[in-house]
Each structure stands twice: as C-alpha cells, then as structure tokens.
Amino acid sequence: MSQPARSFFASSRLTLVITLVVLFGLGLGIRLFDLTDLPLDFHPTRQLLSALKARGMYYQSNPGVPDWQRKMAVQQWKTKAEVEPEVFERLVATTYRVTGVQLWVARIYASVFWIVGGIFLLLLIRDLVSIDAAIVGSAYFLFLPYAVVASRSFQPDPLMVMLTVGFWWLVLRWSRTEKWSWAVLAGAVGGLAIFIKFVSAFFVIGAAVACALPLFKRGALLRKPQVWVMTTLGILPAGAYLFYGVVLHGFLGRQFGGRFIPALLLSPLNYVQWASMADVAAGGLAIMLGLLGVVVARDRGVRTFLIGLWAAYLLFGLVFDYHVATHDYYHLPLIAIVAVSLAPLADAVMSYLAQATNRPLLRLLALGSLLYGLLGVAWDIRAGLKAVDYRPQAATWAQVGDVLGHAPNVVALTQDYGSRLAYWGWQNAIIWPNSGDIDYHDVRGGSFKFPELFARLTTGNTYFLVTDFAELERQPELKGRLAGFAIWAQGDGYTIYDLQKPTGQ
C-alpha cells in the first residue's frame, strides 16, 4: 500500500508561512528596485503612451502649471490612440494629485498587480494540484527575469493578467461548488479582465469552457442560470465599451485593423518568429516542461483545464498572427499558462523531495539550496536593472524641445514615435515612419513611395529632427534627401535640418 504524498513546503505551518513571505516579499521588492528610473527599459513606446495619457488627465484639472503646458498635455492625451479603456492611466492620474507627476507611481501599481496575480495563481494551483506545486509555479511566475521587467511596465497588461488569473481561480471554485457567490465573482472579474484588454477574452473563455465541459452533458450547461449570469457579467463591460467606441464614436474600428493578416497563416517564418517571441517571454525550457506537464497530469479535470488554456493561447496567436510574431509582451498571459502547466511535474518532484528529506537537517539543507537559487535569480535581475540608468535622458530630450522652441512645424525621425520627445521635450512632431513601419505596410499589401511621402510630410513645415541615427542609416533614400538641406542646429544625439533652406546638393 503506497504512503500518502508528503508536502515539502507545508511540513509545518511556520515553514509554509516563511516560504510565502519570502516568495512574495522578495517578488515585490525586486520589482520596486531602481523605482525612479525612467520607463525606457521595456517597450518604451507603449509605456510612454500611457504616461502621456495620465499626464494629460492630471494637467487638465491642475491649475498649478503653465497654460501652454496644460494645453499641450491635454492635446497629447487626446490625440493618442485609444485602444483599451484608460483605466490604469486614470488611476495613476488620480494618484498624481497626491504625489505630483511621478512615473514611479505606475511602476508600483503594475508591480502590485502582478504580485496579486501571483497570489491568485498560488490559490489556483493549490486547488488544482497541491500547495508545493503552487509555490513552484508562483516562483516561476514571480521571478522569471522577463516577467519581472514586464510586470513593472506602465501598460494595462499586468492588470489584465492579474484579473485573468483571478478569473481562472474563481471559475474553478465555481465549477467545484456551483455556488452563486463564485459564479458572480467569476463573471465580474472575467468581465473586468476583458474590459481592461480585449485579448483577455481568449483566456477567459478558454478557462471557462475547460471548467464547464466536464461538469455537464451537452445542452444541460445552457440551462444553468449561473452560466447565463457569468456570461452576461463577462460580456457587459467590454460590450458597452465596444458600442461606445465603434458605434457611437468610431475610434475603435480603426484600432482593430491590421491585427489579423491572413497571408501570415501560411508563412512558416511567421511561426518561427512566434516561437521566438514566446521563448523570449516565457523561456523555451519552461514552455517544454509546461507542455510535458499537460501530458503527465494524472487528474482528468486538471488536464482538461490545461488543454483549455493552451488551446486559448493557440487560437489567440492565430487571430493576432502579426503581433504574436513581433511583440513579445503579447505573450505575457503565456507566462501564467506555463506556470499552471508546470504544476503536475512540480508536484511529483516536490513529493519526492519531501520523502527524501525526512530528517530536519536534510530538510533545512534543501530549503537553503532553494533559497540560494531564488536569491541568485533575484540578484541577477537586480544587476540587470542597475546596469543602465535612463534618468539623464529626461534632460537630453528637454534640451531638444527647448532648441526647437516647442514649435508645431517639426517632422522627426525619432525614438518611440516621438513619445520621448513629447513627454520630456514638450515637443509635438509629425513622425517619419521607421523601417519596421514600412515593412508592416508592405506585409499588408501596400507600397511605400518615398517622394510622395516626403513631400506630404514636409510641405509647410520648417524643421526635420533626427535623433535615431541607426534608423536613418537603414533609410538611405531619406538620408540622401536630408543631405540636401542646411543643418539648423546640432547637439549631442540630435541633428535638426532646416527644410526652408535647401543647399542644392
């Protein structure tokens, strides 16, 4: 007769409490390290989009700033694309009333969102498999280096992941109890996840279907009032926003264009790039172990749940075929999926470790070894965050804005679609496309005509600013054309051409 599996981390209440405090305390602490550095370490274009929106919201009702800055801040906010509801930005703008405009406010919120998501993940895996597997999965979720950097970012994704994982746990609780309280909570949290970012719908629906299928025969599920309540709560927030953005105002329809490119479904290279982006975000070894976890899962309900999550991710990637191959942060939900999928393997390993360390000294040595590994990972992440200091860039971009005089007649080939220039330089500009934009235009079947574009963007404007010189080298036609104009000003990291003074070259 086999002995019941022992728990490694829950061998005593004290051990479990200390483990959880260290795990989540260190997870939050490493995210708050180098707190005040500028948000340029991870997809600065996306982070500065939210930063500009939050500043505009705050300045709109702040009488303590110059009138020209208030008008420009509000303009920068209003003219930026509104893809998702501006919930995170509004939260940060509200906090600015206490702290002033401090970008580290968003970093704290995003970090807390991810930590709360880790708590939901712990509860989910505990209920699916065991507390030991839950701690291992949470450690991966919290200390994966990519996840640490990404979860500090000012964008809706950390909040979306938190709500999505929260829904997974809640819908699992509902499927096992069929209580109204879990149904209402699951529907509300799932609806909020989809409202924050529409792509969450794939992962919400995938988990819901996986939890519902084993419980009911076909047809019986639809006769459950709780299912209809959850569905209504899940659809209502995002549905109302879609109606507002598509039907009433029309701004959302433009944002959905170009997300799906049918030709890429037949491109082997696109799938290679998709796998590469997934590897960047979640780690190839972890993905492999996660998939093996699906295979070795003994409990049929656990395997069904994991298959539902992976099927949702696959469908998501096929629908957003361009973005999953070019944007690594589109794979943030994959980190949570892999963390859950590691549970069956983690449970087996930790059960063996619990049996092998049945004496206090061996248990202490094993715990010390695991702590050493965790601290080593955290230290490496700390070193990476400390390696680059972005703070001096604020003064550099402010100088560029001052040189240009915050004039409205500027064309620019610059980083992050002009977001750094706009945020710290208080300088709006007409943005010249980079080579990636040109390639994307070609993928969608368009054609890039340099003479027409140059004439359209520069006619009536006075200056052409260049700060991204690597990109200029990738566009020799533009470089040659600008050489035909006099240099109006030049400094460390920037050159300004006078479009009104051709040199005849």
At 464, is the secondary structure helix, strand, or coil? strand
Section 140-146 average pLDDT: 98
Q: Cβ–Cβ contacts within 10 Å for residue 310, how many?
A: 19
pLDDT reported for residue 81: 72
Degrees to nearest 5, angle at CA 398 with 393 and 401? 130
Question: Among 14-18, 182-186, 247-251, 398-402, whose mean pLDDT is lowest?
Answer: 247-251
In terms of C-beta density within 10 A (0-12 exposed, 13-18 middle, 19 or more buried), how is residue 62 classed? middle
pLDDT in tens, 293-324: 999 999 999 999 999 999 999 999 999 999 99
pLDDT reported for residue 2: 41
pLDDT reported for residue 253: 60
The upper half-sphere exposure of residue 8, i.e. CA atoms within 13 Å in the direction of its Cβ, equals 26
pLDDT in tens, 90-103: 999 999 999 999 99
pLDDT reported for residue 445: 57
pLDDT in tens, 74-85: 999 998 877 789
pLDDT reported for residue 203: 98
Degrees to nearest 5, angle at CA 135 with 129 and 140? 110
Cβ neighbours of residue 391 closer than 8 Å, sequence gap 6 or more: 36, 37, 38
CA 403 to chain centre: 35
What is the DSSP-derived secondary structure letter of residue 406?
T
Q: What are the extents of the domains in the chain?
A: 13-35+109-386, 44-106, 392-502
pLDDT at 406 over 80: yes
Beta bridge partners of 431: 412
The upper half-sphere exposure of residue 288, i.e. CA atoms within 13 Å in the direction of its Cβ, equals 4
pLDDT at 3 over 50: no
At 123, is the secondary structure helix, strand, or coil? helix
pLDDT at 10 over 50: yes
Measured between alpha carbons, how far is 111 from 27 in angstroms, rounded to an integer?
Answer: 9
- Concatenated DSSP letters of 207-250: HHHHHHTTTS-TTTGGG-HHHHHHHHHHHHHHHHHHIIIIIIS-
| Residue 244 pLDDT grade (very low, low, confident, very high; cuts 50, 70, 90) | confident
pLDDT reported for residue 505: 55
In terms of C-beta density within 10 A (0-12 exposed, 13-18 middle, 19 or more buried), how is residue 13 classed? exposed
pLDDT above 90 coverage of the chain, percent: 83
pLDDT in tens, 20-41: 999 999 999 999 999 999 999 9
Section 246-257 average pLDDT: 66
Structural tokens at position 443: 């993928």
pLDDT at 252 over 90: no
Sign of the CA dihedral 460, 465, 471, 476? Answer: positive
Average pLDDT, the chain: 92
Question: HEC profile for 146-170?
Answer: HHHHHCCCCCCHHHHHHHHHHHHHH
pLDDT reported for residue 124: 98
Q: Cβ–Cβ contacts within 10 Å for residue 350, how many?
A: 22
pLDDT reported for residue 472: 96
